[in-house]
A and B are shown apart, each in its own frame.
Chain A
Amino acid sequence: MTELDDLDRSLLAALRGDCTQAIGALARELGVSQPVAWRRVKRLYDLGVIKARRVYLDHDKLGFGVTVFLGIKLASKGRVSLEDFERAVKAIPEVQMVEHVLGLYDYRLRVVARDISDFERILRRRVMTLPGVGDVEANVLLSEERRPGPLDQSTGVYTKVDRAIPLGAG
């Protein structure tokens, strides 16, 4: 496990908000030298604390008005391998996220569609035809908010309220 100090946490919180900002400006803001900030940021990437960079797009403006979360229960565990299901579900372009879970369902899927009829097409033609699919539950996403997480706990350096990303309702 990786231990972070206050400077790491402040940098992480800043990059979590915007990873394109200049490290030099960030260093000035935090009152450290540029090489120190550079080294720390590089370390966050090297250690895998920052696992990826992600671009957030306005789904509505790009014509994707509907996001649906599906809970999927496999009908015939054992007869169909999990690998077969996973391989097939990963290949569907509209499926953005697949999570293997324990509980009421076996998998959680995040699906984007242009509208409800487009979603119906994806559900019928692509999801319901996956190997081993049993019970499917659908919930339409109305709003989504990503929170900063437990970064500010020990220091209180980062308490900025995260912005909410409105989705759906096109």
Chain B
Amino acid sequence: MYIIKFMLNDLDRRILRHLQLDPGRSVAALAEAANTTSAVCARRLARMKQNGVVLGQEAVIDWRVLGYAVEVSLRVSLDKTQTRAFDDFITAARLVPEVIEIQTFLGRVDVRLSVIARDMIHYQHLYRTRILTLPHIADIEALMQVALIKSEEVLPI
């Protein structure tokens, strides 16, 4: 059913494992950890970027440090009698700067938004003026983040 188009060898997997654990390290340090030379490591990495296995390396922002103390997960059910419900909703949600993540699902939840706010008053304001006004919402449910226990997003390669 699924043809693996990108044959990764053991070295590629080793490089990815170490890269995931510490994406900030230099190619030289990565090469050493993966037990190869810098030149080979750089070539392998470039190849994996070129064929799209590695999509990107990004800095992760800590919004709490910037004064956004509240993070809420909003689980939205859409009115599916509207044929453009998903497109309209997502297009409108993209215009809200405090929405930092948009995910779509197969299941009881249709779309999930991660929303950040400076405090509960700010959140209340956003919720009323920017979120509840988004199109085609049938039902909405909030989960407030208390603590992030694990956040690695490391693939067990």
Query: Residues of A with Cβ closer than 8 Å to B?
Result: 1-2, 4, 12, 15-20, 44, 47-59, 61-65, 69, 71, 86, 89-90, 93-105, 107-108, 110, 112, 137-153, 161, 165, 170
Contact = CB atoms under 8 A, between A and B. Distances in A.
Interface of B: 2, 4-6, 8, 16, 19-20, 23-24, 51-63, 65-68, 73, 90, 94, 97-109, 112, 116, 141-157
A142 B106 CA distance: 7
Contacts of B51: 61
A44 to B, nearest CB: 8
Nearest to B21: A55
A165 B2 CA distance: 19
Nearest to A64: B155
User: Which 10 A-B pairs give the minimum distances between C-beta atoms?
Assistant: A139-B107, A51-B62, A1-B67, A103-B143, A98-B149, A15-B59, A150-B97, A139-B105, A101-B143, A98-B150
Contacts, number: 208
A62 B53 contact: yes
Nearest to B98: A150
B42 to A, nearest CB: 12
B97 A153 contact: yes
Contact of B100 (A57, A95, A105, A149): A149
Contacts of B143: 71, 101-105, 108
Contacts of A17: 56, 58
Which of A2, A48, A53, A137: most chain B Cβ within 10 A?
A53
A52 B141 contact: no
B107 to A, nearest CB: 3
Contacts of A54: 23, 57-60, 153
Given A48-B62, A55-B20, A103 B101 contact: no
A96 B149 CA distance: 10
Nearest to A162: B94
Contacts of A50: 59-62
B151 to A, nearest CB: 5
A73 B66 CA distance: 31
Contacts of A149: 61, 63, 97-98, 100, 116
Which of A61, A63, A141: most chain B Cβ within 10 A?
A61
Contact of B16 (A20, A47, A57, A97): A57
Given A16-B61, A97-B153, A58 B116 contact: no
Contacts of B5: 61
A120 B10 CA distance: 27
